[in-house]
């Protein structure tokens, strides 16, 4: 939910639902494209969402900012929690 700055978990009810008569549309951020068949299977490509594949409620994909891999049951794997030390000098 971009307005609230929330990244909904993969098991959030209705997260990827699109009506059967409108399977193609905008993702939640409004910038990109989302294709979904009743939330059961779909693909999302968006500026804030990154690339996401949804099959039977299992979401996997790639976030671009910060760069991380999204995997079912594990969540995001990436470098968002890595601290970089400044060299002395």
Reduced to 3 states, what is the DSSP secondary structure of residue 4? helix
Domain ranges of the chain: 2-76
Render pLDDT for 4-25 as a digit per residue (tens, 0 to 9). Answer: 666 666 666 667 778 889 999 9
For 66-75, the pLDDT digits (tens) are 888 888 877 7
| 68 vs 70: CA distance, rounded Å | 7
What's the pTM value of the predicted model, to 2 decimals?
0.70
Is 13 exposed, middle or buried (CB count within 10 Å of its CB: 0-12, 13-18, 19+)? Answer: exposed
């Amino acid at each position: 939910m971009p307005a609230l700055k929330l990244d909904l978990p993969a098991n959030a009810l209705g997260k990827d639902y699109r009506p059967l008569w409108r399977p193609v549309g905008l993702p939640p951020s409004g910038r990109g494209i989302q294709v979904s068949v009743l939330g059961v299977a779909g693909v999302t490509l968006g500026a804030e969402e990154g690339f996401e594949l949804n099959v039977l409620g299992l979401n996997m994909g790639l976030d671009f900012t910060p760069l991380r891999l999204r995997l079912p049951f594990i969540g995001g794997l990436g470098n968002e929690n890595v601290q970089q030390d400044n060299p002395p000098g």
